[in-house]
Amino acid sequence: MPTVRQITSILEELAPLALAESWDNVGLQVGRFDREVTGLLLALDLSPAVLAEARQKQTNLIITHHPLIFKPLNNLQFDRPGGALWEEIIAGGFVVYAMHTNYDRAADGLNQYLAELLQLTQVEPVEEGAGEYLKLVVFVPEDHAEPVFAAITAAGAGWIGNYSHCTFRTPGVGTFLPQSGANPFLGDVGTVSSVPEVRLETIIPVWKRERIIKAMLSAHPYEEVAYDLYPVVQKGGRAGLGRVGVLPAPKPFSSFLAEVKALFNGETLRWGGFPRETVQRIAVIGGSGGKYLHQAKGKGAEVLITSDLGYHDFLDAEQSGVTIVEVGHHTIEAVGLNRIKDYLEQDPSLTPEFKARIYLSEHRIKPYSIY
């Protein structure tokens, strides 16, 4: 069985912790990284019903979207409201891990998944500047440029928008003099060597730096590798909150609204703002996205789909020329658990036997009913 560390390392490739909002609390909430995982349960929130389900399915790792711990705990009194849940988590040896705003903002996270479900194309984040980037420059002998290129791009270097494997090469001549104790790949100790080399440069996300450098060093033939990292002020990128894109063709708003309703299993929708007959450019933000109305408008969105909208949000949308559609917070985020399950099931390091022990919770919290 894999350990918690192995599972969370896979999940953090999908949703790097560095992408989380400063106020958020993501990652390991309860438990220890070295524990073996008997099974994995994915849930929107950790409730008594979800914990009972984990026990019934004999899964000891629970992955939630909403963190169990948002603020520091003053105590763990089991005889207070909510204390029984904590007592059972600890006594049962359960491990709890949260993927929240880091998953929302991830390049292939919740909002990207929602855009795909809506069949949007030419997709970009609503929020800009979520990812930090570095320019990587490495000097490679000409006949080893391809292996190093393959290694760094496989590790995640070279993404610009929807384009991968973006690099640039400049030929040149490298010089070096191996000193006593060196074991040079080319040349001789005590002799200056001149070698045809390639300056290979690309862009890398900060959070993938260690992985990419490790891959580069493994593929590079030199004993001492010459490389540089430069800070980059890079606008855009694939990470960021929300997504905006276009439908394959303009569509009557009434038909589009019916498709959104069907996508969320007939969930009751609210809509308002600016009335329009047809729509094509759509923005979607899982969770409470009303405050991003004007960013969505700035991206050309005609419609914004999100949750937790208030009276003044609808008035603001009407004045701003944007149609807004409200889907229940629990509904729009719960669908994203499918992407996490699929991601784990596609990982080659996990066995088929373990993949059969990955479950979506049958208990979906719906905090209100429509009368």
Q: What is the pTM of this model?
A: 0.79
Distance separating alpha carbons of residues 348 and 307, to the nearest angstrom: 35
Pick the CATH number of 110-127+240-329 from 2.40.110.10, 3.30.420.10, 1.20.1300.10, 3.40.1390.30: 3.40.1390.30
pLDDT at 18: 83
pLDDT at 124: 92
The type of residue at 213 is I
What is the architecture of the domain spanning 133-232?
Answer: 2-Layer Sandwich (3.30)
pLDDT at 8: 97
pLDDT at 254: 96
What totals of helices (H) and strands (E) does the chain contain, helices first?
A: 13, 15
In the numeric block, the tokens 């985020």 are attached to 333
> Is there a contact between 274 and 296 (Cβ–Cβ < 8 Å)?
no
Low-confidence ranges of the chain (pLDDT < 50): none
Model pLDDT for residues 100-124, shown as the tens digit of each residue = 999 999 989 999 999 999 999 999 9
Query: Can you tell me whether residue 345 is helix, strand or coil?
Result: helix
Distance separating alpha carbons of residues 109 and 243, to the nearest angstrom: 11
pLDDT at 161: 73
Residue intervals of the chain classified under CATH 3.40.1390.30 are: 4-99+336-360, 110-127+240-329
Strands 358-360 and 40-43: parallel
Which candidate, 97, 87, 85, 88, places its Cα nearest to that of 37?
97
Q: What's the token pair of residue 206?
A: 């900060």
pLDDT at 68: 94
pLDDT at 365: 73
Distance separating alpha carbons of residues 62 and 10, to the nearest angstrom: 15
Residue intervals of the chain classified under CATH 3.30.70.120 are: 133-232
The answer for residues whose C-beta is within 8 angstroms of residue 229's C-beta and 6 or more apart is 134, 135, 136, 137, 209
φ, ψ at 260 (rounded to 5°): -65, -45
* 4-99+336-360 placed in CATH 3.40.50.10600: no
| Per-residue CA distances from 124 to 13, 27, 31, 55, 300 (Å) | 20, 26, 36, 40, 11
pLDDT at 371: 75
CB atoms within 10 A of CB 18: 17
φ, ψ at 243 (rounded to 5°): -140, 145
* Helical (H) or strand (E) element with 308: none
The type of residue at 274 is F
Distance separating alpha carbons of residues 196 and 170, to the nearest angstrom: 11
What does the DSSP 8-state code read for residue 131? Answer: S
